[in-house]
Amino acid sequence: MIASITPLIAHPWADYALLDSGHGRKLERYGKIIVNRPEPQALWGPTLTEVDWDQADAIFTNTGDEDADAGKWRLCSDAPESWPVEWEGVKFICRLMSFRHMGLFPEQLTHWHWVNEKVAKANRPLNILNLFAYTGAASLAAAKAGASVTHLDASKKAIQWAKDNQGASGLNDAPIRWICDDAKAFVARELRRGRKYDGIIMDPPKFGRGPDGERWQIEEDLVDFLGSCVELLSDDPSFVILTAYAMRLSSVSLGNLMHDILKDRGGSIEYGELLIEQENKQRFLSTSLYSRWAAKE
């Protein structure tokens, strides 16, 4: 099995740009809306001026611990409650949430492109399982490319948001199965049912709760969970993607884990960091870690 360390770089596109970063914050444009929010990874100084940063339509301030996500937005203009952002014909509805996010993680576009390439090369409709799927960007991108998708998240609100994105994208007839459930419980049931998938995408949180209070802790649960997910792969699988925002881990750890669990299946493994290129091309911002496996073509 071939393994390589490969940083994946998300470049700006028409509806998204990382305008600047520094002093623990980042300045971004989502569609027509510019937001200024915390970014603990940005230890350096910004490249733009204070005047440029003051152009933000909304500024997020943490409440309590600066590393925490909880806080509030201060509107500096008539920013709407929600607005669309488009990527290759798929539309995502962004909203200013109290945990500093907007329902879209632009760094993941490198995975969207990669999955779409796998779907196109398969010459058959791939059956994909998207776990911890949140507002459905990966699900919608894969479905638009021609895959059948099972989208799972523990939050009913997140699934409804994903369905809103589906409607905005004109993909209401796309083959997407929406599941609100605990990921560990669902995977265990799928194993008992004998159901199989050609590709699996997972973006587990550091810590989370299922619909009935089920507990998830990435350091404790990831190893066994990934092993169970691999058991769901079909006889002719295409890929597995794991993304983690738990920076106490390392991409090497994720790569070694993926290799250990999939070593008998051949193929290749990439691992590293997901990066966003700043619009002025002066630097990259690391957002998360990833490891992904691809079957031999």
Q: Which tens digits make up the pLDDT trace of 101-114? A: 999 999 999 999 99
Rounded to the nearest angstrom, the gap between the alpha carbon of residue 236 and the centroid of all alpha carbons in its chain is: 25
Does one domain contain both 248 and 114?
yes
Cα 112 from Cα 92, distance rounded (Å): 14
Does one domain contain both 47 and 119?
no
Does one domain contain both 130 and 268?
yes
DSSP 231: H
One pLDDT digit (tens) per residue for the chain, 297 residues: 788 999 999 999 999 999 999 999 999 999 999 999 999 999 999 999 999 999 999 999 876 554 556 788 999 988 898 999 999 999 999 999 988 899 999 999 999 999 999 999 998 999 999 999 999 999 999 999 999 999 999 999 999 999 999 999 999 999 999 999 999 999 999 999 999 999 999 999 888 888 878 888 888 899 999 999 999 999 999 999 999 987 678 999 999 999 999 999 999 999 999 999 999 888 999 999 999 999 998
H/E stretch holding 273 reads: strand 268-277
DSSP 175: -
Domain final residue pick, 34, 66, 95:
95
Q: Strand, coil or helix: what is 227? A: helix
Two structure tokens written together for 267: 């193929």
Rounded to the nearest angstrom, the gap between the alpha carbon of residue 13 and the centroid of all alpha carbons in its chain is: 17
Does one domain contain both 170 and 52?
no
Two structure tokens written together for 233: 């792969």
Per-residue model confidence (pLDDT) at position 247? 65
Does one domain contain both 90 and 117?
no
Does one domain contain both 26 and 151?
no
Helix/strand/coil percent split, the chain, to 5: 30, 35, 35
Which of 25, 168, 47, 42 lies closest to 100 in space, CA to CA?
Answer: 25
Does one domain contain both 153 and 30?
no
Cα 218 from Cα 223, distance rounded (Å): 9
Whole-angstrom CA distances from 234 to 1, 138, 215, 256 are 19, 20, 28, 22
Cα 245 from Cα 249, distance rounded (Å): 9
Cα 175 from Cα 127, distance rounded (Å): 10
Q: Which tens digits make up the pLDDT trace of 120-162? A: 999 899 999 999 999 999 999 999 999 999 999 999 999 999 9
Cα 226 from Cα 119, distance rounded (Å): 22
Does residue 103 contact residue 74 with C-beta atoms inside 8 Å? no
Does residue 27 contact residue 36 with C-beta atoms inside 8 Å? yes
On the CB side of 19, CA atoms within 13 Å amount to: 21
Q: Which structural domain, as residue segments, surrounds residue 176?
A: 2-8+104-294
Domain final residue pick, 95, 115, 141:
95
Domain final residue pick, 76, 95, 114:
95
The contacts of residue 83 (CB under 8 Å, 6+ apart) are 30, 31, 32, 33, 93, 94
Q: What is the CA radius of gyration of the chain?
A: 19
Q: State the pTM of this model.
A: 0.93
